[in-house]
Amino acid sequence: MKKIVGLILSLTIIAAVCAGVLAYVNILTLEPIEKATAEKTVKAAKEVMPSGVVTVEKSSFGFLGKDSKGDIIGYAVEGKDSGGYGGDIILMVGFNADKTTVVCYKKLIANETPGLGSKLDSPEFSSQFNNRSAKDLKVKKDGGEIDAITAATITSRAVCKAIENAREKLAGL
């Protein structure tokens, strides 16, 4: 009995030390990870803005793109859909000043199947959304105009919904 208590105590101490080390590493890496994520988001916002944008400013809903006169000529908004094959799909979507025409999008987060759904940021698929209205985007299988990624219809639908989600956020202004 004494041996079992000793083993339990040893395992408890080892588990506590491991938990402490993990907590410490989490504290150390939290700020750099948040900084890297913020930089990635700002970079994506700049990349999806329409041509002519000189400055990009953070706002409550996303980003504003302004020309040299200070006029707003574009927007960048995060769109999310939880219906991806691998979970959440989060995109940075660029819009023209009309708030409905998609300039383009960049993937921020997507854990889709390698070789299939991971093609959501390929030019062959993503360019279909450029200069298209973000209202009622659907894949052809659902009666829309978007060619789904071969063998990745679920991912393709989630991209359409994420872009629609971004448009809805922007329309709410």
Q: What is the pLDDT of residue 1?
A: 81
pLDDT at residue 173 above 90? no
Least confident of 42-46, 125-129, 147-151: 147-151
Q: What is the pLDDT of residue 113?
A: 79
pLDDT in tens, 37-53: 889 999 999 999 999 99
Taking the C-alpha atoms of residue 135 and residue 25, their distance in angstroms, rounded to an integer, is: 44
2 lies in some domain: no
3 lies in some domain: no
* Beta pairing partners, 100: none
pLDDT at residue 127 above 80? yes
Taking the C-alpha atoms of residue 50 and residue 74, their distance in angstroms, rounded to an integer, is: 6
127 lies in some domain: yes
6 lies in some domain: no
This prediction's pTM: 0.83
How many domains is the chain partitioned into structurally? Answer: 1
17 lies in some domain: no
Question: What residue type is assigned to position 33 of the chain?
Answer: I
134 lies in some domain: yes
pLDDT at residue 98 above 80? yes
12 lies in some domain: no
22 lies in some domain: no
Q: What is the pLDDT of residue 2?
A: 84
Residue 121: give the domain boundaries: 48-171
